[in-house]
Amino acid sequence: MLEEVAIRSVQTGLFIGGKWRDSARTMPVHDPSTGQILCTVADADAAEAREALDAAVAAQPSWAATTPRERSTILMNAHRLLLDNTDRLALVMTLEMGKPLTEARGEIAYAAEFFRWFAEEAVRIDGGYMTAPGGGSRFVVTRQPVGPSLLITPWNFPMAMGTRKIGPAIAAGCTSVIKPAAQTPLSILALADILTEAGLPDGVVNVVTTSRPDEVISPLILDGRARKLSFTGSTAVGKHLLELCARTVMRTSMELGGNAPFLVFDDANLDDAVDGAMAAKMRNIGQACTAANRILVHSSVAEEFTRKLTQRMEALPVGRGTEDGVVVGPLIDEAAVAKVSTLVADAVGRGASVLTGGEPLDRPGNFYPATVLTGVPDDAEMCHNEIFGPVAAISTFDTEAEAIERANDTPYGLVAYVYTENLKRGLRVSEALETGMVGLNQGVVSNPAAPFGGVKESGLGREGGLTGIDEFLETKYIGVAM
């Protein structure tokens, strides 16, 4: 059976110093569409994680000394291998995470593009040379690798979030220890073999899987030898990690929670806006930090927009991600279903109306249907917390100023979406929104060539784009007497 072959193709141990090894403990990986165990993988403890850091530290000097072209070639090799193995890797991802195969294949292509982008950036790391303003000396500015890095990835985009961190680390000359989410470790474990085949030297990337992340990662942060932490996950966990990183003044980049507003103005092309809302809301079954969390529609077009969106949402097929035509797969676990159910019940209790969906499906697996709520009040819990599920929460506004004020009324600031045919309004509103990214008349903003990240409690730093590699580089100034 293809599913069994795909799962068996993935190594399930710890990847340390270029070698696969067993751990004293294991943890199960579940299929969220059935609840059944797919396999078990190594469940590392703090001592095993420290060995992974030892390997990264030992490999750092030689890896930093490699030429940019060597690092670029390895990344291009990995880019090709990811694409060559798309079907197998996509199936592994669908089985462990639940997203439909079509989306999983798209994620493999997206993940591979990070390797290609940073392969190209590896050979463009630059510096500077200038005469001191007062004369008498010269300033030489160089860029050097930060050093051994800790990379922590989430469960919702298990391959793409890995390559988005590993790519710039490799390109900059940094070794790393990567800890994937316990729910979806298989994609990163498969990636380790891809990188080995691509020619990556032993110890440059090490993979530690564990069900006890704080127990395992905290000692590595406090160890002092790791000099960089890149984390994607919840704001609460990010704050905890920042507190730990402060003790050793560790370089950090954080991509944290979101509460994305989706603004539809009265002059918007409503068909385009509905298309954008479907993309922004339903990517990855709504389990994305960039998902449209609050859909704010001008009152004059709200009825038509809501009718069109509801028609699209209620027609989405629900099922196991491996089934043909499925668009809405399972949520990641039972806790996710419970959270979405609680948020919907809270909104309805505060006056919202359910137009479609609104209840968990009575079937095996963690399924929740595409749901549309209208009249969602600003005091509803889902207006202040990420829904992380296939629920479109619609409310109305009357003026541009009101739309901006409500959109910004959140401690988060990752992304916002704006639909208007008025260019001046589009730019004016985009500039006024307190977010790191804005989709102006588009429902997807993620692109390896663009700087991804947020402001306020949505994070620090940027991943991707021209600035993505800077997160893994230190600037050194050398003063030369003349």
Specify the CATH number for the domain of residue 394. 3.40.309.10
In a domain, 449, yes or no: no
In a domain, 82, yes or no: yes
Question: Which pLDDT belongs to residue 1?
Answer: 82
> How far, CA to CA in Å, does 233 sit from each of 176, 202, 276, 379?
18, 28, 24, 25
User: For residue 391, what are the domain limits?
Assistant: 261-440
In tens, the pLDDT along 53-73 reads: 999 999 999 999 999 999 999
Share of the chain above pLDDT 70, in %: 100
**Same-domain pairing of 415 and 467:** no
Q: How far apart are alpha carbons 470 and 284 in whole angstroms?
A: 29
415-419 and 371-374 strand pairing: unpaired
In a domain, 447, yes or no: no
Share of the chain above pLDDT 90, in %: 100
**Same-domain pairing of 180 and 325:** no
**Same-domain pairing of 385 and 333:** yes
Sheet architecture: strand order including 459-460: 19-21, 14-16, 205-207, 176-179, 149-152, 228-232, 251-255, 459-460
Contact call for residues 152 and 229 (beta carbons, < 8 A): yes
Q: Give the pLDDT band (50/70/90) at residue 42.
A: very high
**Same-domain pairing of 74 and 15:** yes
Check 103, 255, 400, 471 and give the catalytic one: 255
**Same-domain pairing of 238 and 286:** no
Q: Tell me the average pLDDT across 441-460.
A: 97
**Same-domain pairing of 315 and 192:** no
**Same-domain pairing of 402 and 342:** yes
In a domain, 300, yes or no: yes
391's tokens: 């629920």
Q: Give the number of domains in the chain.
A: 2
pLDDT at 144 over 90: yes
In a domain, 451, yes or no: no
**Same-domain pairing of 99 and 150:** yes
Question: Which pLDDT belongs to residue 361?
Answer: 95
Contact call for residues 195 and 205 (beta carbons, < 8 A): yes
SS3 content of the chain, % helix, strand, coil (to 5): 40, 20, 35
In tens, the pLDDT along 346-391 reads: 999 999 999 999 999 999 999 999 999 999 999 999 999 999 999 9
The model's pTM: 0.97
What are 29's strand-pairing partners?
Answer: 39
Class of residue 229 by CB neighbours under 10 A (exposed 0-12, middle 13-18, buried 19+): buried
**Same-domain pairing of 167 and 248:** yes
Specify the CATH number for the domain of residue 192. 3.40.605.10
Helices of type H across 409-477: 423-432
In a domain, 269, yes or no: yes
Q: Tell me the average pLDDT across 309-338.
A: 97
Class of residue 427 by CB neighbours under 10 A (exposed 0-12, middle 13-18, buried 19+): middle
In a domain, 24, yes or no: yes
Annotated catalytic residue 400: no
Nearest Cα neighbor of 400 from 425, 383, 379 is: 425
**Same-domain pairing of 211 and 290:** no
In a domain, 450, yes or no: no
Contact call for residues 197 and 81 (beta carbons, < 8 A): yes
**Same-domain pairing of 19 and 45:** yes
